[in-house]
A and B are shown apart, each in its own frame.
Chain A
Amino acid sequence: EVQLVESGGGLVQPGGSLRLSCAASGFTFRSYWMSWLRQAPGKGLEWVATTNNDGRKTYYVDSVKDRFTISRDNAKNSLDLQMNSLRPEDTAVYYCATEYWGTFDSWGQGTLVTVSS
């Protein structure tokens, strides 16, 4: 059974940094593209970033480019999202998900990031 468990969320001041992690199990992690998505309180879903299976290709939504970095460690079955220069509009539940041909087929339960002074 696919399991994705996010961690690292919390309260951070505007301009601060936070690193999210996603621990994966139950599937061959190194074979899958992986993504981060988010959902602001009471709002819809937004894709944030994707990495290919070996981590050499990454893609970002325009609003986080140059601030967020997605990375993975296939030896540890883990996915990270380094978030710098955080803004109040980055407040959201952040989900990690497996991605297969652009479809997000398994999701974690999410971790809440709150950017506020």
Chain B
Amino acid sequence: EIVLTQSPGTLSLSPGERATLSCRASQSVSSSYLAWYQQKPGQAPRLLISGASTRATGIPDRFSGSGSGTGFTLTISRLEPADFAVYYCQHYDTSRRTFGQGTKLEIK
């Protein structure tokens, strides 16, 4: 069973700064099946990135995803106030879907 570990647990940054969120898999996974989601308080999650690096419809280009094998990264180039939220990575295989525990991005 693949385990996804996200770091850091909490990231404190200011608007305009660059955010780098990490997702590490317990074994090598296909980047085709690695996704990132954003969740704001009281809201459903929203798909940001699929296939490790493909932005979902309507997602601004300040969000980018990268990585392969066991290490994946979500980068937000210039933080805006609306970007402060919880971010989850997620992996898919034939019989199960697994989420990381989340990274909370908070305003410093």
Nearest Cβ in chain B — how far from A106, in angstroms? Answer: 8
Contacts A45-B102, A105-B47 known; list 17 others, CB within 8 Å.
A44-B99, A44-B101, A45-B37, A45-B45, A45-B99, A47-B98, A95-B44, A100-B50, A102-B33, A102-B97, A103-B33, A103-B50, A103-B92, A104-B37, A105-B56, A106-B47, A109-B43
Query: In the complex, how many residues of chain B place their beta carbon closer than 8 angstroms to a beta carbon of chain A?
Result: 26
The A interface is mostly helix, strand or loop, or mixed, namely: strand
Query: In the complex, how many residues of chain A place their beta carbon closer than 8 angstroms to a beta carbon of chain B?
Result: 20
What string of 1s and 0s marks CB contacts (under 8 Å) between B77-99 and chain A?
00000000000101111011111
Do A101 and B88 touch across chains, with their CB atoms under 8 A apart? Answer: no
What string of 1s and 0s marks CB contacts (under 8 Å) between A41-63 and chain B?
00011110010000000010100
Do B45 and A104 touch across chains, with their CB atoms under 8 A apart? Answer: yes
Query: A102-B33, A105-B56 are contacts. A45–B88 as well, Cβ < 8 Å?
Result: yes
